[in-house]
Amino acid sequence: MDKKQVWDAVLQRMAEKISRMEFHTWFKKVRISKISGEAVVLSCPTEMNKNWLETKYHGMLLQNLKAILPEIDKLFFDVDLSLADSPTTSPEVFEDKKTKAPRKLPNRPDVKLNGDLESRIIHHKFTLENFVVGDETRLAHSACVAVSECGTKEKKKYNPLFVYGGVGLGKTHLLQGTANEILRRNSNAVIVYTTAERFMNEIVKSIRERNTDRFRKKYRRVDALIIDDVQFFEGKEKTQEELFNTFNDLFEFNKHIIFAADRPPADLVGISDRLRSRMGWGLSVDVQMPGYETRLAILQEKSKELGLILPNDVQEFIAANVRKSLRELENILNQVSAEVELSQLSPTVQSVGKMFRKLNPHDELQTVDGAKAGYAKTPDEIITAISDHFQVPATELLGNSRKQEFVYPRQIAWLLCKDLLRMSHEAIGKDFGGKNHTTIMHGVRKISDLKRKDSATARHIHALKKDLGVK
């Protein structure tokens, strides 16, 4: 075998262990320049490429070389700048064999189901198994698993399921993951995943074309109806009326109904009482921004999907400074991936820091130690701090007394548990004596409003955060 044949054979063996992106980033311009006795020399186009292979892939490369040439015992690397301009051909195993999907026209449905029933695409990459679960999303994930496990004839659990939370926190992943799990268990299930805007546009079209009966009938045929962004139904009376009727029929025939919004049903003020009431019939679960450790786990999972190998300090820096949404994390990772591929430069804390400054120019960058130690770790720490600050017994913060001297600090404790520990309303209620999540929601909202209007409340919260080590 000549040097090229040996190298192609090595890459063929490594195909199951490295991604197509890894190959094009780190291996495409690399060549075997010398085979001598027990040693092989690999030439790389840049110093950075050489250092990366030496650090990250030395053992894997040597193992696969030995499988082709058993006498090989040593592997060395050098730099040959001429390789950067050399023509390259990829081994067949790394060629992109996927056919490009036809470009979709704006506002056109993505999937055609039975007859005239349409749905947006349910992406196979979203599953309940690859959803990274943290304390902030554990209840929502468990509810989605329970919903997806219901058989066709069983009474549906938590029907409807209402998932709420801010933008970019994983609601769509949970919804589509639930749809995929239902389909995995029953490949014949008819599932419509759509947005409130699309649903409304269909109703407008049916009214314009005078065929509302046809619209009503087709949605009664589904096994599961999943509607995202239902806050956009606010103020749309005709749409709400049609959704109300659709809901009643699907619920009566024991079909899955799942809603998602940026806030809980009780806060959807522009939606009729009867529809809002039905949205809250089943189970409402919130999705919060994950804490540092969960963000780090999500980052590692998404880096793996991209075939991106990041130094530990860069991983930790990104996890520490993604504080608004997981879409921000994906945005940064995509930028890092592009920089690695185009410039062949390894990302550093400094280079990633520049990306964050462009993305959020008014935010201060946080150290990893700040992200790890900047927050209280448990509700007990918050309860102790509030007990000392207001000079009230901790037992009263956990109790049910309606005296204002206890209710006020108790509600501040709930707000801090939500903001600092990223706890759900349900989890806070459980830790504070089994209180209903709507009670917690009301208390948190009340203190949030007070904090903006009442300077004394703002000072209390600022002092408590300082006591708890929050910067």
273-303 core/surface letters (b: 16 or more CB in 10 A; e: else): eebbebbbebbbbbbbbbbbebbbebbeebb
Burial of 90 (0-12, 13-18, 19+ CB in 10 A): middle
CATH code where residue 73 lies: 3.30.300.180
Instruction: State whether 238 and 167 are in the same domain.
Output: yes
Residue 270 belongs to a domain = yes
Instruction: State whether 321 and 274 are in the same domain.
Output: no
DSSP per residue, 206-263:
HHHTT-HHHHHHHHTT-SEEEEE-GGGGTT-HHHHHHHHHHHHHHHHTT-EEEEEESS
pLDDT of residue 108: 43
Instruction: State whether 140 and 222 are in the same domain.
Output: yes
pLDDT of residue 152: 63
Instruction: State whether 164 and 262 are in the same domain.
Output: yes
Of 71, 87, 103, the residue at which a domain comes to its end is 87
Residue 97 belongs to a domain = no
Q: Nearest-CA neighbor of 352 among 373, 366, 369, 362?
A: 366
Of 267, 287, 307, the residue at which a domain comes to its end is 287
Instruction: State whether 353 and 383 are in the same domain.
Output: no
Instruction: State whether 310 and 408 are in the same domain.
Output: no
Residue 369 belongs to a domain = no
Per-residue pLDDT of the chain (471 residues; tens, 9 = 90+): 688 888 888 888 888 778 777 777 788 889 999 998 889 999 988 887 888 888 888 888 998 899 889 888 999 999 888 887 776 655 665 654 443 343 343 444 455 565 556 666 677 888 898 888 887 788 899 999 999 988 666 777 789 999 998 888 889 899 999 999 998 888 888 888 988 888 898 888 888 888 878 777 777 788 899 999 999 998 889 889 989 988 998 998 889 999 999 888 888 888 999 999 999 899 998 888 888 888 888 998 888 888 888 888 889 899 888 877 888 888 889 888 888 877 777 888 888 888 888 887 777 777 666 555 555 568 888 998 899 889 999 889 999 999 999 999 999 999 998 888 878 898 899 989 889 999 999 999 999 888 888 888 988 888 887 777 664
Residue 373 belongs to a domain = no
pLDDT of residue 82: 83
pLDDT of residue 208: 86
Distance from the Cα of residue 301 to its chain's centroid: 10
Residue 18 belongs to a domain = yes
**Which residue range(s) make up the domain with 36?**
3-87
Assign residue 433 a region: left if phi > 0, alpha if psi is -120 to 50, beta otherwise?
left
C-alpha 279/C-alpha 247 separation (Å) is 9
Residue 406 belongs to a domain = yes
The one-letter amino acid at 224: A
Of 287, 311, 327, the residue at which a domain comes to its end is 287
Instruction: State whether 254 and 332 are in the same domain.
Output: no
Residue 10 belongs to a domain = yes
Residue 100 belongs to a domain = no
Using only C-alpha atoms, the chain has a radius of gyration, in whole angstroms, of 28
C-alpha 258/C-alpha 448 separation (Å) is 29
Give the Cβ contact number of residue 97 at 10 Å: 7
Instruction: State whether 38 and 181 are in the same domain.
Output: no
Instruction: State whether 127 and 256 are in the same domain.
Output: yes
pLDDT of residue 262: 87
CATH code where residue 310 lies: 1.10.8.60
Pull the structure tokens for residue 21.
Answer: 């992106």
Question: Helix (H, G, I), strand (E, B), or coil: what is residue 172?
Answer: helix
CATH code where residue 180 lies: 3.40.50.300
Instruction: State whether 299 and 281 are in the same domain.
Output: no
pLDDT of residue 20: 73
Only one residue has tokens 């075939």, namely 307
Instruction: State whether 280 and 214 are in the same domain.
Output: yes
Q: Within 326-367, where are the H helices?
A: 326-343, 349-359
DSSP per residue, 275-288:
HHHHHTSSEEEEE-
Asked if residues 423 and 288 have their Cβ atoms less than 8 Å apart, the reply is: yes
Asked if residues 47 and 14 have their Cβ atoms less than 8 Å apart, the reply is: no
Instruction: State whether 280 and 321 are in the same domain.
Output: no
Q: How many domains, the chain?
A: 4
pTM: 0.57
C-alpha 375/C-alpha 292 separation (Å) is 10
* Beta-strand pair 39-44/74-79: parallel
pLDDT of residue 293: 84
DSSP-derived secondary structure letter, 197: H
